[in-house]
């Protein structure tokens, strides 16, 4: 095999021999997304953050044909392809840009297998919460650091598969931690309407779906549907300041620079 085709650790796609038994589409939980979206129809506007090929927006459009579908993408290549599939495409940097929506104007936000690639989670959830209507919903799907196969790996001193230092993932998620995040940052601002797991590595499709129903907390991917309960007042971008977090998170506005020069005696 030539160097150009050689597998690079951390690159896209499962390379372990057990991966041959797995339907990798299950990591994106299409059946879960369909079930969640069906619970909240009808709705007028749906925004998919990191829409990729438009799979989840297509599911939403099938369930609610009259809804306006909006894709947010950083990739111009994906944006060009999406322009013929969805009603509107916005090319922005979700970790720095303000979302192009008025306050409390969106019925449904989706972010499926996206947030694990981001650092600025406070800013992203701030923009979702600012734009989402009270009574609107936010569906998120993320890899599960507490999946069964990760627990076994850690037991033997091995690193979780979804968080290799040389991979694209920079954040880790589990059910309890996500629920704590929303409750601590925006108390009583959201309620969990639905929770499910998808993909039970390394089991084949039919067995995987059975196991995710029995042990959703141990699934490869976990999915949440949150309902916004109250008016948002910038709680997510206030939290890092209030908690005096040492990390320099982006919280909006211009970044101020300062220079200190040693004073002569």
Q: What is the CATH number of the domain that holds 205?
A: 3.40.50.150
Q: What's the confidence (pLDDT) of residue 23? A: 72
pLDDT computed for residue 83 by the predictor? 85
Residue 7 is assigned to a structural domain of this protein: no
Q: CA 149: distance to chain centroid?
A: 21
Contact 91, 82 (CB under 8 A): no
- Domain-located, residue 176: yes
Distance (Å, whole) CA 60 – CA 86: 11
Termini Cα distance of the chain? 67
Q: What is the pLDDT along the chain (265 residues), one digit of tens a residue?
A: 445 556 556 555 556 656 666 777 888 999 999 999 999 999 999 999 999 999 999 999 999 999 999 999 998 888 889 988 999 999 999 999 999 999 999 999 999 999 999 999 999 999 999 999 999 999 999 999 999 999 999 999 999 988 888 889 999 999 999 999 999 999 999 999 999 999 998 899 999 999 999 999 999 999 999 999 999 999 999 999 999 999 999 999 765 455 556 666 5
Given this model, what pLDDT does residue 2 score?
46
Strand, coil or helix: what is 140? strand
Answer left, alpha or beta for residue 50, where phi above 0 means left and psi between -120 and 50 means alpha.
left
The pLDDT, as a whole number, for residue 156 is: 96
Give the number of domains in the chain. 1
Residue 247 inside a domain? The answer is no
Is 194 within the bounds of a domain?
Answer: yes
Distance CA(76)–CA(82), nearest Å, equals: 10
Domain that holds residue 37: 19-242
In-domain check, residue 263: no
Residue 6 lies in a domain: no
Q: Would you say residue 205 lies in a domain?
A: yes
**Amino acid 135: pLDDT:** 98
Count of H helices and E strands in the chain? 8, 7
Structure confidence at residue 262 (pLDDT)? 63
Q: How many CB atoms lie within 10 A of CB 218?
A: 19
């Amino acid at each position: 095999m030539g160097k150009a085709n050689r597998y690079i650790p951390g690159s896209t796609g499962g390379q372990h021999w057990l991966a041959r038994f797995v339907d990798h589409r299950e990591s994106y939980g299409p059946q879960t997304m369909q079930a969640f979206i069906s619970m909240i129809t009808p709705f007028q506007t749906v925004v998919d953050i990191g829409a990729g090929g438009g799979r989840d927006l297509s599911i939403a459009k099938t369930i609610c044909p009259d809804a306006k579908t909006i894709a947010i993408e950083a990739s111009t290549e994906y944006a060009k392809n999406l322009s013929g599939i969805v009603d509107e495409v916005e090319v922005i940097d979700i970790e720095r840009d303000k979302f192009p929506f008025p306050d409390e104007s969106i019925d449904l936000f989706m972010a499926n297998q996206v947030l694990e690639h981001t650092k600025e989670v406070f800013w992203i959830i701030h923009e979702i919460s600012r734009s989402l209507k009270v009574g609107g919903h936010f569906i998120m799907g993320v890899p599960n650091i507490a999946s069964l196969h990760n627990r076994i790996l850690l037991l033997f001193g091995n690193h979780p598969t979804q968080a290799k230092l040389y991979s694209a993932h920079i954040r880790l998620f589990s059910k309890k931690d996500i629920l704590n995040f929303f409750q601590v940052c925006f108390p009583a601002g959201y309620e969990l309407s639905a929770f499910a797991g998808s993909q039970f590595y390394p089991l084949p499709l039919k067995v995987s779906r059975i196991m995710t129903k029995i042990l959703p907390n141990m699934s490869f991917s976990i999915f949440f549907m949150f309902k916004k309960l109250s008016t948002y007042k910038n709680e997510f971008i206030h939290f890092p300041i209030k908690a005096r977090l040492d990390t320099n998170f982006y919280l909006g506005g211009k970044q101020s620079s300062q220079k200190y020069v040693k004073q002569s005696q």
